[in-house]
Structures are given as structure tokens and as C-alpha cells.
């Protein structure tokens, strides 16, 4: 048993997830209190290079052809072996499809406690979880002996998890990975649709607060005036008010515009994780406690319907 904090790095097609850097920053905060090291755990094949900018005391790299692409089966086996042997104080996973899948099974398999949707840690090592779609913050002691924790974005800046100095990278043994039940047969790029919102510099995003399909026109007018593109949260897409290619979030696109203008979006973790790379987030919401204000640089506590038409007019006049 050690006081080290392990962080499972997520990567896809040679790109490390921003959330992994956020978790390295979170790991540092926790390790300082616990008196341990931050250890990045990187699984892959010929992927050692990915570890060179991690702000970690050490990278444990597990290389195997069957770890080249994520499969829950292979990750579970490799991590069960590593965590069982090393017994760190905590292991941080993304509250993502990959992290939630692996962490929940490992919790059962190793009989270890699981804390979900953690946003940050207090200085004395308590977890702060953002639950019920981001509306409730729950604080508690980090359970032992090894706590498995899934993390949402927003509590730390990803840049705090990056380092100019490369950490030491140690190859760790990989257990036998035969008889896996799942293999990746093909990677299919999501359809881009009419526009690729992940590449657009100015996004006008609408949420359930827009109320109905007819009101989308307000967002379209603003987008046209300002030179942006309209996208939306899950309820807007599910209702068929916008095409699926315009979905921002865990099950849609991750975006990184210069400006992300969120209108009537609460900022649930599944949405917020996909907008954290935006340069500037501006939010309008009637609820001052909406979690979108935690990630927005500028916030307006107000009604979309009082503001958007006026704003569109002002932009048109300014032009
Ligand atoms: C596995 C999983 C995957 C998911 N994937 C995604 C995803 O990819 N993308 C996604 O967006 N969600 C996703 N979700 C859903 C997510 O949890 C939230 O339910 C969703 O993001 C909420 O959308 P919203 O903010 O538009 O609606 P709500 O949470 O209902 O928020 C509406 C907001 O509008 C505000 N409002 C109301 N009227 C006005 C007004 N007149 N003016 C200003 N503000 C107003 C309200 O105060 C409220 O904050 C996923 C959930 C799960 C479980």
C-alpha cells in the first residue's frame, strides 16, 4: 500500500484527452496532502511518446499489441493486475465512457470503493462530487484502502497537468491478455454533417431553455449576424430541433471555439466536458446557480428572450 495517486490516461488515435491533464492536476493536489507521488498510467502500443508532457512524478507505461486501442476487457485485466499489486491511495479515471466503464468493473472485481463524478479535492483530501446533473455538490472522506474515483472536468485547468520537463517513463509488466472477449474491428469517424462544429471558431449553443423549435431562429439570427454556427445540448437534438451533427457533449462533439455562447444550457458534466477547450465561454441563464457559470468566463443571469434579439440588433448595427 502506498500514498501514490494513479491517473489513468485516456487517449484516442494519438491524442491525449484534455480530461487526463485535468486529472493530473487533481492528482497533484491530492498527492500533496497524502504525501505520495502522482503516477500517470499509460496503456497502449508504441505510444510511449504520449507521456512526455505529463505533469507527473512518474509514468508507468504498459505496452502490448492488444492495448493499442481501448477495449474494456484488456484495460480491466491490465489495471486489475497493476492496482492489485501496487495498492495506490487512489486511482483517478475520467467520468467518460472509458473511465466509467473500467472503474465500475474494477470496483467490483477488486472489491474497492468507487467515488463518481468528483470535480475536485479539498486541501485535507476530501472529495467534492458534482452529482444530479451538476446541481448538487457532495463532499466526503476519500474511502480506503484504495479509492477508485471518476472525475468530471471543471475543477482544475488542464494546463496545470502539463509539464515542459518530461517525466521518467518506466515500462510496467503486462499480464497475459489472451482470451479477450472484445476486439476492435474498425474505427468509424463520426459523420461531420453539414458543418463540423469541432472546427468552428464561433458557436452559438442552445439548450432546453430555448423552449421550442421555432425559437431556434433567434439563435440562427444571432449566428448569422456574428458569423457563427448554431449547435445544441442533448435535449435540443433529441427533440429534433437541430441535426445530430450539431450535438455538443459526451455523446456528440468536443468543441474548441474562440467563443462558445451558451444560451439556456445548465452545464451538466456531460455537456461541460466537451466545451472546456473553448477560449471564452459566455453563458446566459435564468438560474444563478446553473453549473455553466462555473466554467463560463462571462455570465449573464437573465432571460434569453430579453437579451438575444437586442444583442443581434446591436451586432448588426455595429457592422
Ligand atoms: C451518458 C450520458 C451522455 C450524455 N451526453 C450528453 C451530450 O453529449 N450532450 C449534452 O448536452 N448532454 C448530454 N447528456 C445529458 C446531460 O446530462 C444533461 O441532461 C443535458 O446536457 C441538459 O441539457 P440542457 O442544459 O439543455 O437542459 P437543462 O439541464 O434542462 O437546462 C436548461 C437550462 O436553461 C435555463 N433556462 C430556462 N429558461 C431559460 C430562459 N428563458 N433564459 C435563460 N435560461 C433559461 C435553466 O435555468 C436551465 O439551467 C448526457 C447524459 C448522459 C447520462
Nearest CA to ligand 1 atom 39: 209
pLDDT at 192: 67
Dist. CA 281–CA 309, nearest whole Å: 19
Residue nearest to atom 43 of ligand 1 (CA): 285
Q: What is the pLDDT of residues 33-75, one digit of tens each?
A: 889 999 999 999 999 999 999 999 999 999 999 999 999 999 9
Distance 246 CA to ligand 1 centre (A): 14
In a 3-state reduction of DSSP, which class is residue 94? strand
Report in angstroms the alpha-carbon separations of 172 from 41, 63, 81, 122, 303. 9, 8, 11, 31, 54
How far apart are the CA of 99 and the centre of ligand 1, in A? 22
Ligand 1, closest atom to CA 206?
A: 26
d(CA 53, CA 162): 5
pLDDT single digits (tens) 105-141:
999 999 999 999 999 999 999 999 988 877 789 999 9
Q: b or e along 69-96 (b: 16 or more beta carbons within 10 Å of the residue's beta carbon)?
A: ebbebbbbbbbbbbbeebebbbbbbbbb
- Max Cα separation, the chain? 67
Q: Which residues sit opposite 15 in a β-bridge?
A: 12
- Report d(CA 243, CA 99) in Å as an integer: 28
Distance 142 CA to ligand 1 centre (A): 29
Name the closest-CA residue to atom 29, ligand 1. 266
In this predicted structure, the answer to whether residue 223 has a pLDDT above a threshold of 90 is yes
**Candidate of 249, 276, 302, 303 to mutate for ligand 1, largest count of ligand atoms within 8 Å of Cβ:** 249
Ligand 1: centre distance to CA 307 (Å) = 20
How far apart, in whole angstroms, are the C-alpha atoms of residue 158 and residue 269?
16
Residues 6+ apart with CB under 8 A from 185: none
- Which of 215, 219, 265 for a ligand 1 pocket mutation test, highest count of atoms within 8 Å of Cβ? 265
Give tens-digit pLDDT for 226-261: 999 999 999 999 999 999 999 999 889 889 999 999
Burial class (CB in 10 A: 0-12, 13-18, 19+), 117: buried
Report how many helices (DSSP H) and strands (DSSP E) the chain contains, helices first.
8, 16
User: Which domains does the chain show, CATH number per domain?
Assistant: 5-171 (3.40.50.620), 197-318 (3.40.50.1220)
| Secondary structure (3-state) at 163 | coil
Q: What is the pLDDT of residues 265-295, one digit of tens each?
A: 999 988 998 998 899 999 999 999 999 998 8
pLDDT-derived band at 1 (thresholds 50, 70, 90) equals confident
Radius of gyration over every alpha carbon of the chain, rounded to an integer in angstroms? 21
How many angstroms does the Cα of residue 161 sit away from the middle of ligand 1?
28
| Contact residues of ligand 1, CB 6 A cut-off | 133, 207-209, 233-235, 247-252, 264-266, 268, 270-271, 284-287, 290, 303-305
Q: Which of helix, strand or coil describes residue 64?
A: coil
pTM exceeds cut of 0.85: no
Using the mean position of ligand 1's atoms as its centre, give its distance from the Cα of residue 272 in Å.
10
CA nearest ligand 1 atom 48, residue: 266
Which atom of ligand 1 is found nearest the CA of 233?
11
Strands (DSSP E) found in 70-132: 90-94, 114-121, 127-131
Amino acid at each position: 500500500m502506498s500514498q501514490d495517486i494513479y491517473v489513468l490516461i485516456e487517449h484516442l488515435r494519438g491524442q491525449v484527452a484534455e480530461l487526463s491533464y485535468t486529472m493530473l492536476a487533481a492528482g497533484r493536489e491530492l498527492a500533496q496532502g497524502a504525501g505520495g507521488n502522482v503516477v500517470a498510467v499509460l496503456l497502449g502500443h508504441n505510444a510511449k511518446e504520449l507521456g512526455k508532457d505529463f505533469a507527473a512524478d512518474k509514468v508507468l507505461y504498459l505496452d502490448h499489441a492488444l492495448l493499442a486501442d481501448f477495449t474494456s476487457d484488456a484495460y480491466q485485466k491490465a489495471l486489475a493486475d497493476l492496482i492489485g499489486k501496487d495498492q495506490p491511495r487512489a486511482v483517478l479515471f475520467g467520468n467518460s465512457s472509458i473511465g466509467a466503464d473500467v472503474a465500475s468493473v474494477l470496483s467490483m472485481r477488486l472489491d474497492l470503493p468507487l467515488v463518481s463524478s468528483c470535480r475536485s479535492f479539498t486541501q485535507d483530501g476530501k472529495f467534492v462530487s458534482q452529482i444530479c446533473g451538476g446541481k448538487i455538490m457532495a463532499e466526503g472522506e476519500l474511502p480506503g484502502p484504495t479509492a477508485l474515483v471518476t472525475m468530471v472536468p471543471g475543477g482544475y485547468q488542464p494546463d496545470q497537468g502539463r509539464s515542459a520537463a518530461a517525466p521518467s517513463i518506466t515500462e510496467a509488466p503486462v499480464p497475459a491478455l489472451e482470451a479477450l472477449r472484445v476486439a476492435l474491428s474498425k474505427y468509424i469517424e463520426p459523420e461531420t454533417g453539414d458543418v463540423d462544429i469541432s472546427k468552428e471558431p464561433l458557436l452559438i449553443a442552445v439548450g432546453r431553455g430555448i423552449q421550442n423549435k421555432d425559437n431556434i431562429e433567434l439563435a440562427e439570427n444571432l449566428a448569422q449576424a456574428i458569423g457563427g454556427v448554431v449547435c445544441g445540448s442533448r435535449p435540443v437534438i433529441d427533440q429534433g430541433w437541430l441535426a445530430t451533427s450539431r450535438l455538443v457533449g459526451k455523446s456528440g462533439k468536443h468543441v474548441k471555439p474562440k467563443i462558445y455562447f451558451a444560451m439556456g444550457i445548465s452545464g451538466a458534466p456531460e455537456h461541460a466536458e466537451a466545451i472546456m477547450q473553448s477560449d471564452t465561454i459566455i453563458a446566459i441563464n435564468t438560474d444563478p446557480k446553473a453549473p455553466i457559470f462555473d466554467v463560463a468566463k462571462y455570465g449573464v443571469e437573465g432571460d434569453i428572450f430579453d437579451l438575444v434579439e437586442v444583442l443581434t440588433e446591436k451586432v448588426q448595427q455595429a457592422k
